[in-house]
Structure 1
Amino acid sequence: MARVTIQDCLEKVPNRFVLVHMAAKRVRQIREGSERLVTMTKNEDAVTSLREIAAGKITIVPPEEAEQRS
């Protein structure tokens, strides 16, 4: 994928508001030192997070499942 678009991401995450929340949270994780899940050079953190979402590397965990995991 040469360019990431919102439409690419919306195929994985159907809600735009959830998509924005996911991307913002992932940007924070990357800036705090988390490993990038896609190998792209010279990308801004926001673009990297959108590429990860479009590639299906980042998924939503509903609050109920998050509580069960902990």
Structure 2
Amino acid sequence: MNIELTIYGQVYMAFAVLIGVLCYREGQSKSDSATSVGVIGFVLSIFQPFGLFYLLYLWIKSPLANQKMS
């Protein structure tokens, strides 16, 4: 049982880091502070549905007007 909990914890933490990185990447074009967007995404992904909802919100949100689209 200990091994199963350890593997579950590692997968859980990898998921949180992945969501945090994806939120950071999306936040670069859709926010003034990409670092805070990434941290918020990481913290919300500890409660998994909230992290996914936040990432979905970032994908739907339009980019900032003062940046050029490449």
Give the TM interval when normalised to the shorter protein.
0.3 to 0.5
* TM-score normalised by the chain length of structure 2: 0.36
Q: Pick the structure with more helix per residue.
A: 2
Higher relative contact order structure (alpha carbons within 8 Å, sequence separation ≥ 6): 1
